[in-house]
Amino acid sequence: MPRMTEAAASIRKRHGSPMSLVGPDHPAADAGKTLEVRDLDHTYSVNGKTTQALKDIAFDVSAGRFLSIVGPSGCGKSSLLMMLAGLLTPSEGVIAVGGRPLTKPDPTRVGVVFQDASLFPWLTARRNVEFPLFLRGVDKALRREKAEEALALVGLERFADSLPHELSGGMKQRVSIARGLVQDPPILLMDEPFAALDEQTRITMGDELLRIWEKARKTIVFVTHGLSEAIYLSDEVLVLSGRPGRILDRVVIDLPRPRSLDMMAQPRFAELREAIWHMIKA
């Protein structure tokens, strides 16, 4: 795919400096680009009234990075995620995963975790996780094995036979993560996955997600409107403007890993938070 390589090069050129903080000296710069988004525009019309939702969106994400997308509500960050999932076709532009364009949902390349977990209430946790494999006609024994692996990864092997309504909000999201990862895609997209959880569960789930991420070595693109959450979890934060959503900046979170809650009290955390907050507010 020479065209995409060119595209990636042009992205790097355009965002090399000062927009992007991923310079050549950054350790991630040499890793393969898992996700590339080029010249993406999106407009939609309701009752004949045309609205521009996203404008000039271009970025890439290196393998194994944790990228958050933040922005004011209505900036189109969820739409952007739906496009990355292949669920929504952008008016203009190309999305490529692993060097190949993505035009429709492909769970072997991109797993998705939705805001409300979206588990099928009539299926057990295991059957929910098996579902994407079932759709592809994978045989039963392999399905079961894969699902159990994924459930073990999120620490829910003991709840494999529980139905969604028997699980807590946090557990449901973990099943949903397992479902997203069951086909071992390089990328996991998460659309405000913890928004419906209470504060305490949200923090625990954040740590849990980081643990899963370290272990599974996935690229995560995480949409949220919580700035602290974004900074706490991510390597980089993509900041979008209000409608039409444009990329205002890409902020590298240079806090050391593993992250811990006391980092939130550090001056660097406050600085980063302040900087992003200023961009969004403006």
Burial class (CB in 10 A: 0-12, 13-18, 19+), 106: middle
Shortest gap between Cβ of 189 and another protein (angstroms)?
A: 8
Residue 149: count other Cβ atoms within 10 Å of its Cβ. Answer: 15
Binding region for another protein (CB under 8 A) out of 20-28, 33-41, 63-71, 83-91: 83-91
Q: Is 71 in the site for another protein (CB under 8 A)?
A: no
Residue nearer to another protein on the CB measure, 61 or 85: 85
Shortest gap between Cβ of 80 and another protein (angstroms)?
A: 15
Residue nearer to another protein on the CB measure, 164 or 245: 164
- According to CB under 8 A, which one of 106, 148, 157, 208 is a site residue for another protein? 106
Q: Is 122 in the site for another protein (CB under 8 A)?
A: yes
d(CA 125, CA 119): 8
Binding region for another protein (CB under 8 A) out of 101-109, 141-149, 220-228, 257-265: 101-109
Residue nearer to another protein on the CB measure, 44 or 131: 131
Q: Is 23 in the site for another protein (CB under 8 A)?
A: no
How many residues make contact with another protein (CB under 8 A)? 25
Q: Is 21 in the site for another protein (CB under 8 A)?
A: no
- According to CB under 8 A, which one of 3, 105, 215, 274 is a site residue for another protein? 105
Residue nearer to another protein on the CB measure, 106 or 207: 106
Site string for another protein, 130-169 (x = CB under 8 A): -xx-xxx--------------------------xxx----
Q: Is 112 in the site for another protein (CB under 8 A)?
A: yes
The residue type of 142 is L
Q: In what order do the strands lie in the sheet with 92-97?
A: 49-62, 33-46, 92-97, 100-101
- According to CB under 8 A, which one of 87, 94, 195, 203 is a site residue for another protein? 87
Q: Are 189 and 85 in contact (CB under 8 A)?
A: yes
Residues that bind another protein (CB under 8 A): 85-87, 104-107, 110, 112, 114, 116, 118, 120-123, 131-132, 134-136, 163-165, 179
